[in-house]
Copies of this chain bind each other. A is one copy, B any other.
C-alpha cells in the first residue's frame, strides 16, 4: 500500500487489471453462473472499465469441478465455485459452503460476515493458496426428484440416488446408494431407471432439466444445503498484488454479489414452483422419520470428522455454537410472522 501512496494518488487509483475467472457452472444456469457475471460487471462499472474479470463457463478453461485448483495454481486468477465440490480432498472445504443440517442462508451470512466465519474459512483457504469471499447463495435447496414415493427409512434401502459428497456419506448410512453423475446425464439415467432419484438445486434451476417428466415426486427440503454459499476464490498471490482499494472493492462487490444471487433466486423460484406443479411435479415433504434419521446419521459423520480433523472441529464448533442460538431466536419474530403470512396465503387472503 505504501508504494501506491508514494505515487501520484489520482493516477494510481484504478490501474488496469485483467483477470480470468473459471466458473464451476454452465451458462445455462443463469442464476448461479450469473453471479460471476454480476461480480465482473460491478468491478468494471466501479472502475471505469479498468478492473476487468473475464468469466469462463465450466469446461471452457478447466472442468467445473477443477475451478478452485486452477485458481490456486494460477492458471486463472479467480474462480466462482462451491467449496463442497472439493470436500474429498479435505472436508474443511465444505464448511464454508454448506454441510447437512447447518444454517439457512441468513444464519450462514450472519456467521460469515459477523461471526468470524469468513476469517476462519480463509485460514484454511490460505493453506491452499487461495483467498475466498462469499459471492452467492441459493437459499434452501430442494431435496430432489424421485421416481417413487419415499415415506419411511425402509424406502431408502437400495435407492440409487444421484447425490454428492457429504450428503451422500450421510444417506449411505441409511441404505441409499449414492451416485456421482454429471448434470447433463441425470435425465436419461432417471428416465431409464438406472437411478431412482436425483438431487439438483432449486425450482428455477430444476425446471430447466425437466426432471418432473420422468421422476415426478419432488421432495423437500434439501437438508444438506440449508443456505449454500457460492464463493469467489482468488489466487493468493494475484489477490495480494492488487492495490488496497481494489482488494476493498472486491470485498464490497462480492458482498453485493452474494446478496444479489439470493435475491434473484427468491424472485425466480416462486413462479417456477407454480409452473412445475402445473406441469405435473408432485410436491412432498420428507417425512419427520426420514429427516430425524438423517440428522442422527449426520451427527455420526460429524463426530468422526471432528475426531480426525482438528481444523474441521474448530470451524464446525464455531458454526454449531451459533446454530443453536440462531434457531432459538428465529422461532420468535421471523417464524411467527412468516407462519401467519403463510396461513393468509393458504386462506386466499394474500
A-side residues, CB < 8 A to B, are 4, 9-15, 42, 45-48, 50, 101, 104-107, 109-115, 139-143, 202-203, 220-223, 226, 243-245, 248-249, 252-253, 255-256, 258-260, 262-264, 266-271, 273-274, 283, 285-286, 288, 291, 295, 320, 322-342, 344-346, 349-350
A333 CB contacts on chain B under 8 angstroms: 139-143, 202, 220-222
Docked-complex contact B221 and A45, CB < 8 angstroms: no
Docked-complex contact A270 and B11, CB < 8 angstroms: no
A331 CB contacts on chain B under 8 angstroms: 342, 345-346
Question: Looking at the complex, which one of B9, B258, B264, B324 makes contact with A350 (CB distance below 8 Å)?
Answer: B324
Min distance, Cβ A20 to any Cβ of chain B, angstroms:
21
A15 CB contacts on chain B under 8 angstroms: 10
A47 CB contacts on chain B under 8 angstroms: 13, 245
A332 CB contacts on chain B under 8 angstroms: 142, 220-221, 273, 283
Docked-complex contact B248 and A259, CB < 8 angstroms: no
Docked-complex contact A221 and B334, CB < 8 angstroms: yes
Docked-complex contact B104 and A337, CB < 8 angstroms: yes
Docked-complex contact B340 and A223, CB < 8 angstroms: yes
A12 CB contacts on chain B under 8 angstroms: 48
Residue in B closest to A114 when the chains form the complex, CB atoms: B267
Docked-complex contact B255 and A260, CB < 8 angstroms: yes
Given A115-B267, A266-B106, A337-B140; A244-B328 close (CB under 8 Å): no
Residue in B closest to A258 when the chains form the complex, CB atoms: B259
Q: How far is the CA of A287 from the CA of B109 in the complex (A)?
A: 31
Min distance, Cβ A286 to any Cβ of chain B, angstroms:
8
Q: How far is the CA of A50 from the CA of B9 in the complex (A)?
A: 9
Count the copies. 2
Q: Which of A13, A101, A140, A222 has the most CB of B within 10 A?
A: A13
Q: How far is the CA of A50 from the CA of B341 in the complex (A)?
A: 46
Docked-complex contact B221 and A340, CB < 8 angstroms: yes
Docked-complex contact A263 and B110, CB < 8 angstroms: yes
A141 CB contacts on chain B under 8 angstroms: 333
Extra contacts besides A249-B249, A255-B256, A327-B344 (9): CB < 8 Å = A13-B47, A46-B252, A105-B106, A107-B266, A143-B333, A226-B337, A285-B336, A324-B345, A331-B345
Q: How far is the CA of A109 from the CA of B14 in the complex (A)?
A: 31
Min distance, Cβ A42 to any Cβ of chain B, angstroms:
5
Residue in B closest to A326 when the chains form the complex, CB atoms: B270
Docked-complex contact B270 and A329, CB < 8 angstroms: yes
Min distance, Cβ A44 to any Cβ of chain B, angstroms:
9
Docked-complex contact A110 and B266, CB < 8 angstroms: yes
Residue in B closest to A272 when the chains form the complex, CB atoms: B329
Q: How far is the CA of A222 from the CA of B106 in the complex (A)?
A: 19
Min distance, Cβ A209 to any Cβ of chain B, angstroms:
17
A253 CB contacts on chain B under 8 angstroms: 252, 256
Docked-complex contact A245 and B46, CB < 8 angstroms: yes
Given A10-B14, A115-B267; A221-B256 close (CB under 8 Å): no
